[in-house]
Amino acid sequence: MKSKITIALVFCVFIATTVLFVFMPPRQSGFGFAFFLYDESDTFIAEMWQTIALSMPEDVYYEVFNAGNSQSIQNRQIVEQIERDFDVFIINAVDRLASNTIVERLSRESIPVIFFNREPLEDAMLNRENVFYVGAAADIMGIQQAEIAAEFFEGTHVINVVILKGEHGHQDAEKRTENSINRLRELGFNVNVLATRSASWRRQDAYDVMRSIYSQFGESIDLVFSNNDDMALGAIDFLLSADVFYKGMPVYEQPFIIVSVDGTPVGLEAVYNGLIFATVHNNIEKQTSAILTLADYLANNRNMQGFPYEITNGHFIYIRGDIITRENIMDFIRACSH
């Protein structure tokens, strides 16, 4: 049984880390989609891009442009592609505050825009035609994090919490953080937030942040809320190196629990190995389906009344995910390996 699980996880990791440009097809007679990624080194974005590329209709020509976490580079990439015959621009913005300028520029050219993962400010979207956002229901994810933690701490009055926060100003980081703490308090817990530190979604940054936090608060910590799996894994890297956490130990016997978000292959592996207590699935498959279905509607100028996903305020499509624990993890590993 263990060997099958390992093979499935390795397969998932392979899919998530394959070089981005492998799947670029030659120009065909169908529609053209231009994808702009904020940073292909981001684990979640790399996995999401691979899912999009593997799901692309055969008659669609597409190219992908990596900004390397530079908004100025992404701006230049977008402007350079305007004169080409792409039908839809699909953008994972480096800085969500730049979205207004991007929308204004592309609206002048009547190019439909789909933002994903990094939500533009509402002012950039409203009163605009053919401008949409597809992403996770981040507020619900924060609530789900709190609810699974509440089950673990049932009967406990006070919870000392550490928060590993994503990039400052990113809507998902703000919503996950706020809603996780507020929901715990709504459920009757006295929540003592020991520290809220940004690790910018990155594993190595989280290693350093957790080392600092643990040196200050140590055994006082009951719970870590991480805004994503990579930061949870960075914290775990430190905790293992410092002999605070132990591989092979049941999750209930670790000195405190970590509740995360994403359900990436490496995150699933940590849940299976008892290092992450639970993670909330950032449903890449459904987000991919929404993005590509929406791109098809826009490219074909189809009536949006038939669109199969709920649209909030005329522009926003939010996808919910499930809670993943050791008890149900095989459902997600099987889905990934397929």
Asked whether residue 149 falls in the same domain as residue 87, the answer is no
**What is the rounded average pLDDT for all residues in the chain?**
91
Task: Identify the three-state secondary structure at position 322.
Answer: coil
Q: Which carries the bigger pLDDT value, residue 22 or residue 315?
A: 315
Asked whether residue 96 falls in the same domain as residue 182, the answer is no
- Tell whether 324 is covered by a domain: no
Q: What pLDDT score was predicted for residue 30?
A: 79
Instruction: Quote the percentage of the chain above a pLDDT of 70.
Output: 90
Give 136-181 pLDDT, tens digit per residue: 999 999 999 999 999 999 999 999 999 999 998 888 999 999 999 9
Give 279-330 pLDDT, tens digit per residue: 999 999 999 999 999 999 999 999 999 899 999 999 999 999 999 999 999 9
User: Where a domain ends, among 257, 281, 305?
Assistant: 281
What pTM, to 2 d.p., does this model score?
0.86
Give 191-231 pLDDT, tens digit per residue: 999 999 999 999 999 999 999 999 999 999 999 999 999 99
The answer to whether residue 18 scores a pLDDT higher than 90 is: no
- Tell whether 22 is covered by a domain: yes
Asked whether residue 297 falls in the same domain as residue 272, the answer is no
Q: What pLDDT score was predicted for residue 27?
A: 43
Task: Count the Cβ atoms, other than its own, within 10 Å of residue 52.
Answer: 23
Domain count, the chain: 2
Asked whether residue 63 falls in the same domain as residue 85, the answer is yes
Asked whether residue 249 falls in the same domain as residue 292, the answer is no
Q: What pLDDT score was predicted for residue 25?
A: 44
- Tell whether 236 is covered by a domain: yes
- Tell whether 326 is covered by a domain: no
CATH code for the domain of 106: 3.40.50.2300
- Tell whether 9 is covered by a domain: no
In 3D space, the residue among 227, 221, 218 whose CA is nearest the CA of residue 259 turns out to be 227
Asked whether residue 118 falls in the same domain as residue 185, the answer is no
Asked whether residue 159 falls in the same domain as residue 271, the answer is yes
Looking at residues 34-52, what average pLDDT do you find? 96
Residue 55: both structure tokens together = 């799901």
Asked whether residue 118 falls in the same domain as residue 200, the answer is no
Asked whether residue 253 falls in the same domain as residue 169, the answer is yes
Task: Count the Cβ atoms, other than its own, within 10 Å of residue 168.
Answer: 9
Q: What pLDDT score was predicted for residue 191?
A: 98
Asked whether residue 102 falls in the same domain as residue 150, the answer is no
pLDDT band at 5 (very low <50, low <70, confident <90, very high): low
- Tell whether 209 is covered by a domain: yes
User: Taking CA 305 as the corner, what is the angle to CA 302 and CA 310, rounded to the nearest 5 degrees?
Assistant: 115
**Ranges 20-34, 66-80, 184-198, 267-281: which has the least confidence:** 20-34
The answer to whether residue 11 scores a pLDDT higher than 80 is: no
Asked whether residue 156 falls in the same domain as residue 267, the answer is yes
Q: What sign has the CA pseudo-torsion 248, 251, 256, 261? A: positive
Domain housing 231? 138-281
User: Where a domain ends, among 264, 281, 298?
Assistant: 281
- Tell whether 10 is covered by a domain: no
Asked whether residue 240 falls in the same domain as residue 259, the answer is yes
- Tell whether 162 is covered by a domain: yes
